[in-house]
Amino acid sequence: MKKLNIIKIGGNIIDDELQLEEFLYALATLNEPFILVHGGGKLATDLATDLNIPQEMIDGRRVTNAQTLKIATMVYAGYINKNIVALLQKHKRNSIGLSGADANLIQTTKRNPEPIDFGFVGDVKPDGINIAFLKQLLQLGITPVISAITHDGNGQLLNTNADSIANTIAVSLSRTFDTQLIYCFEKNGVLYHPEDENSVIPVLDWNMFQTLKSEGVISKGMLPKLENCFQALEQKVGKIGIINAKNISGFINNKTHEGTSIQ
């Protein structure tokens, strides 16, 4: 099977113009095909603040009301997505920016408002991914750059978790590609001690994950990300990494062993 990388880039890198351009230059010059999924970063929050639109949080998670959805659509599917594509084009990587509505790429279901109403949020499943279109783009040599705005097929855009999109796309494509799923962010990997960048866990398997979870070493935002990673491994995703965005070339080219490998 042909190799395919599904790369997720997190908000902190997107917020930093210089880091983002360096990361995109590294991606543009990769010899392997990839799909890029990007999150939002602070830009959407900043715009909401500038427009005096209050952001409601429940259990530490943002509620997407109509105004927040509008901002997310403008920032993620517009500003960030198009600037990423323009920078990849600059470095001669032919790419295309897509939301889930485009070519019916990702159809999601609005989350049940019970018990908590998170508003215009869509949950993604493997059968909602338009695999055929992704394959057509890759065959044409065009790199998909996907923002985390999806649609319900009935005219409604929905805000969606970018990690889940990357994960679900990797699972969906693992029937036809030798997939590698890589989460890139500003830290060096999954850390034993969150404040110590040198405490990277190089290899993490299911048993070790259970132990570290019970010891409280892994907690908060990293928990659902890792749960999803192990599910993806079960569903035939070939290799999963959680790495510093700076190390993307080395990781993909198997030249460095930095970051955390989920096995």
Q: Which residues are annotated as a binding site?
A: 40-41, 62, 159
Could you tell me if residue 216 is left (phi over 0), alpha (psi between -120 and 50 degrees) or otherwise beta?
Answer: left
Distance CA 20, CA 69 (A): 24
Specify whether the CB–CB gap between 84 and 38 falls below 8 A: yes
Residue 90 lies near its own copies (rule: CB under 8 A): yes
The residue among 70 and 239 lying less far from its own copies, judged by its C-beta, is 70
Kindly state whether residue 154 participates in binding its own copies, applying the rule CB under 8 A: yes
Q: How far is the CB of 104 from its own copies (least distance, A)?
A: 6
111/225 with CB nearer its own copies: 111
Is 226 one of the binding residues for its own copies (CB under 8 A)?
Answer: no
Q: Is the dihedral of CA 254, 21, 189, 180 positive or negative?
A: negative
Closest CB to its own copies among residues 4, 87: 87
204: which DSSP letter? Answer: E
Among positions 100-119, residues that touch its own copies (CB under 8 A) are 101-104
Find, among 51, 67, 47, 58, the residue nearest to 157 by Cα.
67
| Cis peptide leading into residue 224 (ω within 30°) | no
Among 3, 70, 135, 213, binds its own copies (CB under 8 A): 70
Verify binding: residue 142, its own copies, rule CB under 8 A. yes
- What's the CA gap between 14 and 17, in Å, rounded? 7
Q: Is 76 a residue that touches its own copies (CB under 8 A)? A: yes
Does the protein bind its own copies through residue 223 (CB under 8 A)?
no
HSE, side-chain direction, 13 A CA sphere, residue 13: 25
Stretch in the footprint of its own copies (CB under 8 A) among 1-9, 31-39, 149-157, 169-177: 149-157
Query: Which positions lie near its own copies, rule CB under 8 A?
Result: 50-51, 70, 73-79, 81-83, 85-87, 89-90, 94-99, 101-104, 133, 136, 140, 142, 149, 151, 153-157
